[in-house]
Amino acid sequence: MSAPVTEIPETIVLRWVEAFNERDLDRMLMHMDALVVFHPLRLSGLRGSYSGHHGVREWFAQLDRLHHHHRIVLSEARSVGDGQVFATGSLSLVGEPGISPFCALHRLDGGLIVAAHHYLTDPDMIERLGLIP
């Protein structure tokens, strides 16, 4: 089942983050293209890139095995053109809100996330590096 094409891109990203925070893999995948290219946070024990739904499933299983129980707290998700959504906020752990800045750049096509890059850095840095169109 895929996300309706009529949903605005920011909403799709927000729903993906909600599904991630609830550790609902099926809902996460519902918002991702079957051939998605996913670059999650560079946390200990994880690879830098995962491809397709199979790769996202592998990443998700590794998160559980490695006891990475972080949550993403978004403060903003905004369209930056060319089918891309820039999301900003913080990473938190149970009992430890806002342990690190978080930002992500998602590219969408046909109502699905086709590529995502997640960063543990200040959003201003991503803009200064020219990663946002």
Give me the pLDDT at residue 68, please: 82
100, β-bridge pairs = 91
Q: What is the DSSP string of 61-98?
A: HHHHHTT---EEEEEEEEEEETTEEEEEEEEEETTEEE
Q: Give residue for tokens 């949550």.
A: 71
Check residue 7 and give its pLDDT.
81
Q: Which residue has the tokens 């200040």?
A: 122
Taking residue 95's Cβ as centre, other Cβ atoms within 10 Å add up to 5
pTM: 0.87
DSSP 24: -
Question: Tell me, what's the pLDDT at 125?
Answer: 74
pLDDT in tens, the chain (133 residues): 555 446 899 999 999 999 999 999 999 999 999 999 999 988 777 788 899 999 999 999 998 988 888 899 999 999 998 899 999 999 888 777 667 899 999 999 999 999 999 998 877 777 777 777 6
Domain 9-128 belongs to what topology? Nuclear Transport Factor 2; Chain: A, (3.10.450)
**Amino acid symbol at 123:** P
Domain positions in the chain: 9-128
